Structure 1
Amino acid sequence: MATLTERLADCYSGVIYDVMRDMGLAAAVLPSDIRPLDPEVKIAGPVFTMRGRPDKTVDAHASLLAWTGFLSKAPSGHVVVCQPQDSVRALMGELSAETLKHRGVLGYLVDGGTRDVSFIKAIGFPVFCRYTTPIDIVASWIPEAFDEPVTIGNVVINPGDYILGDQDGTVVIPKDRAEEIISRAEAAISTENLVRAAILRGEDPQQAYLQYGKF
Structure 2
Amino acid sequence: MADTDLTDSRARMTGTVPPSKILTTEIPRYVEDYSTRLLSIPDVASAVADALDELGIGAAITATDLPPVAADARMCGPAVTLRYVPLGGDVTGNRETGRGTTFGDRDLYGLGRPGDVAVMDCSGSRSGAVMGALSARWAVKAEIAGCVVDGAIRDTASILASGLPVWSATRNPAAARYRYETVQMNGQVSLFGHLVHPGDYIVADIDGVCVIPFFDVPRVVEHCENAHRTEVAFIDRIDAAATLEELVAGLTPGTAPA
TM-score higher than 0.5: yes
Rounded Cα–Cα distance in structure 2 between residues aligned with 1:60 and 1:108: 28
Tell me the equivalent position of 1:77: 115
Change (3 A) 1:52 1:210: same
Q: Does 1:139 align with 2:182?
A: no
- Contact preservation (8 Å) 2:203, 2:211: yes
Change (3 A) 1:112 1:207: farther
- Contact preservation (8 Å) 1:93, 1:116: yes
Residue 71 of structure 1 deviates from its aligned partner by 4.4
Change (3 A) 1:129 1:60: farther
Amino acid in the other structure paired with 2:170: Y
Tell me the equivalent position of 1:30: 61
Tell me the equivalent position of 1:53: 85
Match of 1:3 among 30, 33, 45: 33
Residue 73 of structure 1 deviates from its aligned partner by 3.0
Secondary structure of the structure 1 residue equivalent to 2:131: coil
Q: Deviations over 1:124-153 (max 9, x none)?
A: 101100111111112221211111111222
Rounded Cα–Cα distance in structure 2 between residues aligned with 1:48 and 1:61: 25
- Contact preservation (8 Å) 2:79, 2:202: yes
Q: Which runs of 4+ in 1 moved over 6 A?
A: none
What TM-score do you get using the length of structure 1 for normalisation? 0.89
Residue 61 of structure 1 deviates from its aligned partner by 8.4
Rounded Cα–Cα distance in structure 2 between residues aligned with 1:209 and 1:124: 46
Rounded Cα–Cα distance in structure 2 between residues aligned with 1:54 and 1:71: 21
Rounded Cα–Cα distance in structure 2 between residues aligned with 1:206 and 1:164: 37
Secondary structure of the structure 2 residue equivalent to 1:112: strand
Bigger Cα Rg:
2
Rounded Cα–Cα distance in structure 1 between residues aligned with 2:181 and 2:113: 19
Rounded Cα–Cα distance in structure 2 between residues aligned with 1:46 and 1:16: 15
Structure-to-structure mapping, 1:65-104, within 5 angstroms? 66-85=104-123, 86-104=125-143
Secondary structure of the structure 1 residue equivalent to 2:72: coil
Residue 123 of structure 1 deviates from its aligned partner by 1.6
Change (3 A) 1:206 1:190: farther
- Contact preservation (8 Å) 2:108, 2:118: no
Cα RMSD, aligned residues only: 2.5
Change (3 A) 1:123 1:214: same
Percent identity, aligned pairs only, is: 23
- Contact preservation (8 Å) 1:8, 1:44: yes
Residue 67 of structure 1 deviates from its aligned partner by 5.0
How many residues get paired? 214
Change (3 A) 1:206 1:6: farther
Q: Deviations over 1:76-121 (max 9, x none)?
A: 3210111112111111101110001111111110111111111111
- Contact preservation (8 Å) 2:75, 2:145: yes
Any gaps of 5 or more consecutive residues in structure 1? none
Secondary structure of the structure 2 residue equivalent to 1:53: strand
Tell me the equivalent position of 1:121: 160
- Contact preservation (8 Å) 1:109, 1:129: yes
What TM-score do you get using the length of structure 2 for normalisation? 0.75
- Contact preservation (8 Å) 2:189, 2:196: yes
Change (3 A) 1:60 1:139: farther
